[in-house]
Structure 1
Amino acid sequence: MAEIKAAIFDFDGTLVDSEHYHYNSWVEVLKDYDAQLDYDYYIKTYAGTPSPINAKAIIAQFDLPISEEELIYKRERMAEKLVKESEVEFMPFAIETLDFFKEKGIPIYLVTGSPRNNVEFLLEKTGIAKYFEFEITRTDVKNSKPDPESYLTAIEKINLPKENMIVFEDTRTGVASAKGAGLECMAIQGNPNLKENVEAADKILDDLQQATQYLEKEGRI
């Protein structure tokens, strides 16, 4: 296997433990329509998927009398509110992993299905913007994850052979996006019930520390 010269990270659920904000934002918005979204069903079905795709599915699931655009707007404003009011926690070994790649001199990039304004706010709030060479968000592409456009855009900007890049994702949609772009993808998923969601990944590991240890053992870093 080729040497790793670029590390590309997903954001929500891979670096930042923000999925509960997304879930709770849907819950709060759906209260206006007397609709209840089960957490386990949400995690298995909607986690890691951009709002436009989820909005369409949720409107159909609950037969909501609202347009996709309006539901997306309400959901994202609610998510912003919840994030601003709360402390943001990192996923296990997230900072250690970013430091690991930085110390090795390997450039780090961010590819996320979240909109740019949300991402920039969280990067500033958590203080990790300094790690990334650039960020590709949902705002920057026509078709976000699971479409490969986000990663294809990153590949073009990084300007290295694909075999020298590694992607870290945590959901089915993220893995599909990375693999669709022809990239090697490691799924970081510590929930046994969700590992089947990421079975298309090249490697499935419980946390980011396991990922860096594996890459070192393989002599790729």
Structure 2
Amino acid sequence: MKAVIFDMDGVIVDSEAIHIKTKMQTLREYGINCTRQDCLPYFGRSSRAFFSDFITRAASSISLDEIVARKHQLFLEYIADNDAVHPVKGAIALIKDFHNRQVPLALASSSVRRNIEMFLKRFGIYDCFDVVMSGAELLHSKPNPEIYLLTAKKLGIKPQECAVIEDAEAGVTAAKRAGNYCVAYCNPDYRDCGQNVSAADVQVDSLNDIDIGRLLVQRY
């Protein structure tokens, strides 16, 4: 592999529980019922994809842009406290290790760009990434491979020569459809989320289990 592409939520930032909480709160404000279980299939997908489906099911005329903006506002309010969100164990060390080895790095997240940049700067790793892609700015959400194909293009490296680190079924599917080598991080805290990441080339229970040397010599 010549480059590594990271997902963000659930891989770098331990934020999935907050996304679920703010999605549920947003829908309640608009009179739509939603449970934690309802949110689980949307791990790794954009807020627009999530709310679009719920608006359709409720046969509602709610503005998609409005409800998505409200969710982002609630999320930002929640994480304004620096102690509210923490990096995933092993993520920062792994990113810095790749960077120190001069491995081209990219981030391809379904989150909005302001959230991405805020977390990367807060954790002191913004300058480690050569390319930062926000799926919120693209036409298609994961599991569509668009974000990984475009990220590889911006890196100037073939998708088959990029390794992706993901934690969600939608993200793993997107990476494999793009032709990437894929490492699935199976967070023990989300075992009940029903994420099928069996399509990944390798699965790890901890980011500390990723063997950088072995990953970089993988060939497709």
TM-score range, shorter chain: 0.7 to 0.9
Gaps of 5+ in 2: none
Q: Using the TM superposition, name which of 88-97 and 156-165 deviates more.
A: 156-165
Cα distance in 2, alignment partners of residues 206 and 40 from structure 1:
22
Q: What amino acid sits opposite 2:160 in the alignment?
A: E
What is the TM-score with the length of structure 2 in the denominator? 0.86
1:50–1:144 contact (8 Å) kept in structure 2: yes
Aligned length: 215
Matches within 5 A, 1:45-194: 45-62=41-58, 64=60, 66-87=62-83, 88-190=85-187, 191-194=190-193
- Percent identity over the alignment is 28
Cα distance in 2, alignment partners of residues 192 and 58 from structure 1:
24
Distance 1:81 1:196, change over 3 A: closer
Distance 1:205 1:194, change over 3 A: farther
Gaps of 5+ in 1: none
| 1:94-119 superposed Cα distances (whole Å, 9 cap, x missing partner) | 01111221222212110111111221
Cα distance in 2, alignment partners of residues 25 and 31 from structure 1:
10
The equivalent residue for 2:25 is 28
The equivalent residue for 1:207 is 206
1:33–1:64 contact (8 Å) kept in structure 2: no
Distance 1:218 1:149, change over 3 A: closer
| 1:111-149 superposed Cα distances (whole Å, 9 cap, x missing partner) | 111111221222222222021112011244332322211
Distance 1:209 1:51, change over 3 A: same
Q: Using the TM superposition, name which of 199-208 and 109-118 deviates more.
A: 199-208
2:168–2:197 contact (8 Å) kept in structure 1: yes
Q: What amino acid sits opposite 2:132 in the alignment?
A: E
| 1:54-112 superposed Cα distances (whole Å, 9 cap, x missing partner) | 00222245555523222112111111211213422011210111122122221211011
Paired residue secondary structure (2:150): helix
Cα distance in 2, alignment partners of residues 95 and 106 from structure 1:
15
Paired residue secondary structure (1:144): coil
